[in-house]
């Protein structure tokens, strides 16, 4: 009887522990506001509309978690064409992994997420051509993006090894980032300059400005769909 009581107590503790796992929100991590369901985002290289941009469409569930990502490329006719689609799966309220397929339905990427704590998780992405990306993401006490470490390597060498630290302003938006390139030893500070907002105070147009030179290194435009 004592043994059964001990087992019951252990199971109760484990159940409470499972229920106490903090659910992760990708919307909170990025600093977005309101019940967002879809974000349509276009990235311009160097902030120049003449360069071919890239479009991403992000789909979120009611808990603010990213469930699907579509990437489109623009070609000479300026009509976006699907590059790949990634679908995410979850376990206990957190992303567990994803599978990405190209426009022909062939798998080109797979990814796994592992949580170190409520404020840190690791991502490992494997590509069809042998490349691998590893991220370590750290969150602040509000669940927002604080730091991301990135390593990209092929079977022969490490190609990228960077750490990016993020700072938020009083409105809860990312205001700047500091990039440390561990291979070249070069550091770069970027200012995230917001120019337009929607009714929910989400940024719909933003420029990335190099703090040292004042040059524009990129531009993003967004449209938001809400529940």
Q: Is 225's pLDDT higher than 60?
A: yes
Give percent of the chain with pLDDT exceeding 90.
76
Q: What is the pLDDT of residues 69-123, one digit of tens each?
A: 999 988 766 778 899 999 999 998 899 999 999 999 999 999 999 999 999 999 9
Tokens 């933003």: give the residue: 206
Q: Classify the phi-psi angles of 15: left when phi > 0, otherwise alpha if psi is within -120 to 50, otherwise beta.
A: alpha
- Binned at pLDDT 50, 70 and 90, residue 173 comes out as very high
Q: Is 58's pLDDT higher than 50?
A: yes
Over the chain, what is the mean pLDDT?
Answer: 89
State residue 14's pLDDT score.
46
State residue 19's pLDDT score.
44
Q: Is 15's pLDDT higher than 50?
A: no
- Binned at pLDDT 50, 70 and 90, residue 24 comes out as confident
Better pLDDT: 221 or 14: 221
Q: Which segments of the chain does DSSP mark as H helices, in order?
A: 2-19, 26-30
pTM, rounded to two decimals? 0.86
- If one counts every other C-beta atom within 10 angstroms of the C-beta of residue 90, the result is 16
Task: Report d(CA 162, CA 218) in Å as an integer.
Answer: 18
Task: Report d(CA 202, CA 211) in Å as an integer.
Answer: 23
Mean pLDDT in residue range 208-218? 94
CA angle 207-138-170, nearest 5°?
50
């Amino acid at each position: 009887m004592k043994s059964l009581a001990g087992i019951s107590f252990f199971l109760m503790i484990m159940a409470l522990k499972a229920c106490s796992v903090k659910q992760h929100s990708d919307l909170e991590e990025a600093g977005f506001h309101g019940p967002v369901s879809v974000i349509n985002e276009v990235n311009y290289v160097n902030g120049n509309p003449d360069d071919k941009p890239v479009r991403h469409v992000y789909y979120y569930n009611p808990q603010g978690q990213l469930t699907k990502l579509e990437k489109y490329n623009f070609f000479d006719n300026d009509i976006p064409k699907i590059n790949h689609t990634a679908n995410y799966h979850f376990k206990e309220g957190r992303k567990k992994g994803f599978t990405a397929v190209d426009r022909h339905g062939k798998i080109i990427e797979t990814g796994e997420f592992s949580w170190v704590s409520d404020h840190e998780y690791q991502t490992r992405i494997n590509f069809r051509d042998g490349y691998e990306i590893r991220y370590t993401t750290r969150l602040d006490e509000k669940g927002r993006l604080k730091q991301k470490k990135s390593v990209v390597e092929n079977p022969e060498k490490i190609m990228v090894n960077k750490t990016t630290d993020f700072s938020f302003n009083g409105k809860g938006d990312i205001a700047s980032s500091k990039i440390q390139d561990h291979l070249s030893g070069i550091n770069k500070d970027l200012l995230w300059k917001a120019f337009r907002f929607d009714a929910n105070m989400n940024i719909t147009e933003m420029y990335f400005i190099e703090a040292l030179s004042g040059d524009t290194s990129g531009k993003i435009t967004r449209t938001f769909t809400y529940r």
